[in-house]
């Protein structure tokens, strides 16, 4: 085979090494499709890590489920906060920037995650002994 296609690339842990070996050393054409960000627009898996390996990168969009404009992001219809929640249009919807920012689910999920990080970081703070 001369061409290797990888879909749902965000779920592959060995993406960088595999693509590097297949393209650079084995001479394969590698076509990778996957999400670059999760529903909170954080990096998702190692998709962004392989951008420097690529000959070209095309960012595809969908149509906003609310207004029909170009949808750059994904919003959740539920309040689940785990990063990997494998589901379809019953849980996710493509949205434009305005409808992403206005989404109450995104706002609440971001608040919950920030709160949990604050608690974790507070728990790791130890007093620094003062030197005289």
Q: Which positions are catalytic?
A: 8
Would strands 70-71 and 73-76 be described as parallel, antiparallel, or unpaired? unpaired
**Please, what is the minimum distance in Å from the beta carbon of residue 21 to Zn ion?**
41
Length of the chain: 132
**Please, what is the minimum distance in Å from the beta carbon of residue 20 to Zn ion?**
37
**Please, what is the minimum distance in Å from the beta carbon of residue 92 to Zn ion?**
15
Q: Which residues bind Zn ion (CB under 5 A)?
A: 64, 66-67, 69, 96, 99
SS3 state of residue 76: strand
User: Which of residues 70 and 118 has its CB atom nearest to Zn ion in the complex?
Assistant: 70
From the CB of residue 47, how many other CB atoms can be counted at a distance below 10 Å?
22
User: Which of residues 50 and 64 has its CB atom nearest to Zn ion in the complex?
Assistant: 64
> Which positions ≥6 away from 38 have C-beta within 8 Å?
44, 74, 83
Q: How is the chain split among helix, strand and coil, in percent rounded to 5? A: 35, 15, 50
User: Which of residues 44 and 73 has its CB atom nearest to Zn ion in the complex?
Assistant: 73
């Amino acid at each position: 085979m001369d061409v290797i296609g990888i879909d749902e690339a965000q779920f592959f842990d060995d993406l960088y090494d595999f693509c590097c070996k297949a393209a650079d050393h084995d001479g394969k054409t590698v076509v990778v499709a996957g999400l670059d960000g999760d529903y909170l627009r954080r990096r998702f898996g190692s998709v962004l890590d392989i951008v420097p390996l690529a000959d070209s990168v095309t960012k595809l969009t969908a149509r906003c489920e609310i207004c029909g404009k170009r949808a750059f992001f994904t919003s959740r219809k539920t309040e689940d906060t785990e990063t990997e929640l494998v589901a379809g249009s019953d849980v996710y919807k493509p949205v434009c920037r305005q409808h992403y920012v206005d989404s109450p689910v995104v706002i609440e999920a971001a608040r919950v995650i920030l709160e949990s990080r604050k608690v974790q970081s507070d728990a790791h703070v130890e007093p620094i002994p003062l030197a005289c």
